[in-house]
Structure 1
Amino acid sequence: MSAPTTAQWLRTAVDRVAVGSTRLAADRGGRLIRGTHSRYTKVRAWVGESRGFDKWLRVALLVGAALIARAVGVALARWAYDRIQSGAWWHLLVAAALAWTSAAYRAGRADWQPTPDPAPADAAPDGDEEADAAEEQPEPTEQAPAGPPPVSPVALIAAVRDIGTPHAQLRPLAEHLGTTTEVVRTVAAGMGWPVKDVRMKGRSSAAGLRGDEIPSPPSAGPSPGVVGAGQPADDNDDDTSGEGPGEGVRVVRTDGGLIVYDLADTHRRRGTVRA
Structure 2
Amino acid sequence: MSQARSRRMIYQTDATRDKIILQAERCFADAGFFATQMKDIASAVGMSRNTLYRYYQDKTDLALAILERTLARMAEALAQQVTHALSAPGSGHLRLSQLLFSLNDQVNSVDERFVAEFDAYFSGARVPDDFRARLQASISIHNLAPLTELLSQGQADGSIRADFAPDLVMVTLINAIRALLQRLILRGQLLIETDTDALAAIPRLHLTLLLDGLKNQPSTAQTSATSASASPSPNPSPSPVAPIAPIAPIAPNEVTP
TM-score, normalised to structure 1, is 0.17
| Higher strand residue share | 1
Q: Choose between structure 1 and 2 for higher RCO, CA contacts under 8 A separated by at least 6 residues.
A: 2
| Higher helix residue share | 2
